[in-house]
Amino acid sequence: MTLVLVVGRKEKIDIPQLVHSGKCLRQAVADYLSCSDEGGQLLNDDVEVHIRTRDDVMDSLSPEKYDVQVFVFADLLPARQKNLPERCQAIASCLNAVLGRRQHGFVKIFLSPSAYSEF
């Protein structure tokens, strides 16, 4: 499962807009991080999106440099590593199209070995 964490500054972006961006991110991550390696094909259902707004505690610990921060956690696969900066930029462009250019943010993709087991 691929996890996407979206953190937004609630004073800079409204919650419905943030939720809408999360829905678009699901599709973008599935599209742009899918690869030909075994287990590398992603569907919308394979991407879990968590949306958080920054609270007062977090604001006091972090600089207010970005309105939206997007962290993507996915399995490390050789084919997924290829063109990773371009894949990241494509996801950021999709987000930018939804949120508009007045929002300042970033997308960071973390690829790592992982295991998954349901209980």
**Is residue 119 a part of any domain in this protein?**
no
5: left (phi over 0), alpha (psi -120 to 50) or beta: beta
List the domain range (segments joined by +) for residue 73: 2-112
Q: Is residue 118 part of a domain?
A: no
Question: In a 10 Å sphere around its CB, with 0-12 CB exposed, 13-18 middle and 19+ buried, how is residue 6 labelled?
Answer: buried
Report yes or no on 88 lying in a domain.
Answer: yes
Flag residues of the chain having pLDDT under 50: 57
Q: Would you say 28 and 95 are in contact if contact means Cβ atoms under 8 Å apart? A: yes
pLDDT value, residue 81: 93
Amino acid 16: pLDDT: 82
The CA distance from 40 to 19, in Å, is 26
* Position 23 in a domain: yes
pLDDT at 12: 78
Q: What is the CATH number of the domain that holds 67?
A: 3.30.429.10
pTM equals: 0.88
Provide the pLDDT for residue 72. 96
| Confidence (pLDDT) at 83 | 92
| Residue 31 is assigned to a structural domain of this protein | yes
Per-residue tokens: 91: 């996801």
Residue 117 resides in a domain: no
Q: Are 13 and 99 in contact (CB under 8 A)?
A: yes
Domain count of the fold of the chain: 1
